[in-house]
Structures are given as C-alpha cells and as structure tokens.
Amino acid sequence: QVRLQESGPGLVKPSETLSLTCGVSNFFINSGYFWGWVRQPPGKGLEWIGSVYQTGSAYYNPSLESRVIISIDTSNNRFSLDLRSVTAADTAVYYCAKATIIYTGNYYFDSWGQGTLVAVSS
C-alpha cells in the first residue's frame, strides 16, 4: 500500500520560501499517476495547490501560480513543493497526495499523507 510522508520546516518567516518534500513508499512515483499538494488554512476549507505528472509537467491553482513550483524527483521517489514570498495567509496544514487518472482524463486524490502544519511567522 502506498505511503506518503510530508517533511519540511514547521515555521517559515514572511517573504521567505516554504519548501516541503513528500516521500513516497511502496509505490513507484513514475507509474503513470499525478502527485499533488493540498492545503487547509486554519478554519478554512481544502485548497488544491497543484499537481505534477511523472514527466515533470505541473498544473497549478491560478491563485498561487505566480509563487509556486511543484517538482518531481523520480530517482528518489519523491516530489516537492516550493511556495515563494509567503505571508501569514499561507499558514496551513499541507498535504501531499497521489492522484489516479481515470479513462476520461479526470483525476482524483486516492492516497494522502497525514499532513504537516506550516506556520508563517517572524
């Protein structure tokens, strides 16, 4: 069974870059799936940040696109999130997830990490 684990600092200063990595176990990351990041700010709903395919092609939430990069490292079976110029509004629980693509091209997240809280504060 696939296992995903987020790692990275729990505290980031305003204007700096938030960087998280998702390690994937028991599953090859280059097996034809999307891999994505989702976040939940305190008291708010889930927000799709973006998704990356094994080729490195990435899709982003338009509201974050100017600040975010999602990359994939097939050699080490992991993928990463970099979010630049963070503010307090970026404080959230960040989840990494595996997404299955169905026959229509639609995709959905079917396995999730446990999430990691990242606070943006000086």
Partner 1 sequence: SYELTQPTSVSVSPGQTARITCSGDALPERFAFWYQHKSGQAPVLVIYEDSKRPSVIPERFSGSRSGTMATLTISGAQVEDEADYYCFSADSSEEHSGVFGGGTKLTVL
Residue ranges that bind partner 1, judged by CB under 8 A: 34, 36, 38, 45-48, 50-51, 53, 59-63, 65, 95, 99, 101-102, 104-110, 112-115
Give which of 25, 13, 28 is closest to 118, Cα–Cα: 13
- β-strand partners of 1: none
Q: Which is nearer to partner 1, 15 or 100 (CB)?
A: 100
Rounded CA gap, 55 and 109, in Å? 18
Of 102, 97, 103, which Cα lies nearest the Cα of 49?
97
CB of 88 to partner 1, least distance (A): 21
Q: How crowded is residue 25: how many other Cβ atoms within 10 Å of its Cβ?
A: 11
Identify the bridge partners of residue 53 per DSSP, sorted by sequence position: 34
Supply the minimum distance, in Å, between the C-beta of residue 23 and partner 1: 15
CB of 54 to partner 1, least distance (A): 12
Closest to partner 1 by CB, 88 vs 101, is: 101
The radius of gyration computed from the CA coordinates of the chain, to the nearest angstrom, equals: 14
- State the minimum distance, in angstroms, from the CB of residue 106 to partner 1: 5
Closest CB to partner 1 among residues 3, 13: 3
